[in-house]
């Protein structure tokens, strides 16, 4: 009878320093059979072990071309799903802690999206008039829904391009689950705010009138990122008062008024590049997740750059933070023993449709 996997309980009380040594040792033993992907929002204690780092789009591109047997994702559930969908069938995608989800992704589930599809069909012909676009921060079954209905996936890097693609297919877009990204991207394309109403999936007709639906260009799903939603205009005003020569840069998941009053708005990759390429001794207020900002602030000290986090309260992504050295050491030592724990496997039919939307996105980006 095969030996059972090592239980996580054996790692729960292990201190970080011991975990670091064990992670390094396991990586050496696994060699090229293993690749670790790390999202920018991960804590430094695990991020340091990533072979490739990036935002969702960059990591998606990496996943397509990996030869490793095991792909361990330092991120959240939907990211590991994307890794499974884009990798070859024999490759194994692993998420160190299955509880690492995404509260924004959970704001749009398949039942609500399908109900919205039926509601919208009362007013117009969805499959002829609406392109469904899901942010990559969503479950695989929503990506599959978009695949089935002529839609596509976007990231914060390529959202404007993907919206253009969507409008080239049909006259309207249903954008889920993040209203802030959809609104900012539409606004930058010149779409009036009144043509981007919020669709509340828990209300009949999304809480809108028939006229509002017919006049809409983008129907924005009532969803948001809890971390980015914490940023306020007052944070920007305070920074500008203290540093009149400073710059404000925000992620498009931030509230609309925060993006409006920022000097720059873009994805995590864009934020990193903009600040890294900026002249020495410049000052920056950054509206995105805390781990990225702290790492960037430390890296920029040598150039005399001041990098400040936008909120006065801690805004760490609590689900990203679930990926800790203990969970990483646990999954890697199991792999050394030939045991796979926490594999992420998207059902074949769902994966096929979801891959269609991801392939469309990568081709359009």
Please report, in range form, the residues annotated as the binding site. Answer: 39, 56, 102, 135-137, 156, 225, 251-253, 268, 317
Residue list, annotated binding site for [4Fe-4S] cluster: 102, 225, 317
Say if CB 50 and CB 38 are below 8 A apart: yes
Contacting residues for 183 by C-beta, under 8 A, at least 6 apart: 193, 196, 218, 220, 256
- Give the integer Cα–Cα distance in Å for 263 and 90: 45
Judge contact between 345 and 95, C-beta under 8 A: no
Angle between helices 140-148 and 110-120 (to 10 degrees): 30
What is the residue whose two structure tokens read 């203290």? Answer: 242
- The rounded distance, in Å, linking the Cα atoms of 360 and 365 is 9
Mark the binding-site residues for iminosuccinate, compressed into ranges: 39, 56, 135-137, 156, 251-253, 268
Report DSSP letters for 10-68, one per residue: HHHT--HHHHHHHHHHHHHHHGGGEEEEEETTS-HHHHTT-SEEE-HHHHHHHHHT---
What 3-state class would DSSP assign to 80?
helix
* Dihedral sign (CA 229, 233, 238, 240): positive
∠216-263-321 over CA atoms, to 5°? 85
Exposure string (b/e) for 170-196, b if CB count within 10 Å is 16 or more? bebbbbbbbbbbbbbbbbeeebeeeeb
Beta bridge partner(s), residue 347:
none
Sheet holding 172-176, edge to edge: 152-154, 130-135, 172-176, 218-221, 198-199
For residues 89-119, one letter each, b for 16 or more C-beta atoms within 10 angstroms of the residue's C-beta and e for the rest, the string is: eebbbbbbbeebbbbbbbbbbeebbeebbeb
């Amino acid at each position: 009878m095969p030996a059972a996997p090592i239980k996580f309980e054996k790692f729960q009380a292990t201190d970080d320093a011991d975990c670091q040594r064990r992670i390094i040792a396991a990586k050496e033993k696994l060699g090229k059979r293993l690749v670790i992907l790390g999202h920018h929002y991960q804590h430094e204690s695990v991020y340091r072990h990533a072979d490739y780092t990036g935002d969702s789009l960059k990591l998606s591109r990496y996943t397509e071309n990996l030869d490793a047997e095991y792909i361990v994702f330092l991120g959240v559930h939907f990211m590991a799903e994307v890794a499974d969908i884009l990798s070859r069938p024999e490759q194994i995608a692993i998420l160190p802690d299955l509880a690492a989800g995404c509260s924004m992704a959970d704001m749009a589930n398949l039942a609500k999206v399908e109900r919205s599809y039926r509601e919208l069909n009362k007013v117009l012909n969805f499959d002829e008039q609406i392109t469904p676009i899901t942010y990559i921060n969503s479950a695989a079954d929503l990506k599959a829904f978009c695949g089935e209905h002529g839609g596509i996936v976007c990231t914060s890097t390529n959202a404007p391009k993907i919206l253009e693609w969507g409008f080239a297919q049909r006259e309207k877009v249903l954008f889920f689950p993040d209203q802030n990204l959809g609104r900012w991207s539409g606004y930058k394309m010149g779409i009036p705010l009144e043509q981007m109403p919020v669709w509340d999936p828990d209300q009949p007709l999304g809480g809108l009138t028939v006229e509002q639906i017919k006049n809409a260009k983008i129907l924005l799903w009532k969803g948001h990122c809890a971390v980015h939603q914490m940023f306020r205009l007052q944070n920007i005003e305070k920074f500008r008062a203290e540093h009149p020569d400073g710059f404000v840069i925000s992620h498009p998941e931030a509230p609309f008024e925060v993006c409006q009053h920022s000097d720059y708005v873009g994805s995590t990759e864009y934020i990193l590049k903009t600040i890294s390429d900026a002249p020495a001794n410049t000052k920056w207020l950054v509206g995105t997740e805390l781990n990225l900002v702290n790492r960037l602030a430390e890296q920029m000290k040598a150039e005399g750059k001041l990098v400040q986090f936008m909120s006065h309260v801690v805004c760490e992504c609590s689900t990203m933070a679930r990926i800790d050295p203990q969970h990483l050491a646990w999954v890697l030592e199991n792999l050394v023993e030939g045991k796979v724990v926490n594999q992420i496997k998207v059902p074949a039919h769902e994966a096929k449709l979801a891959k269609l939307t991801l392939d469309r996105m990568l081709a359009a980006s």
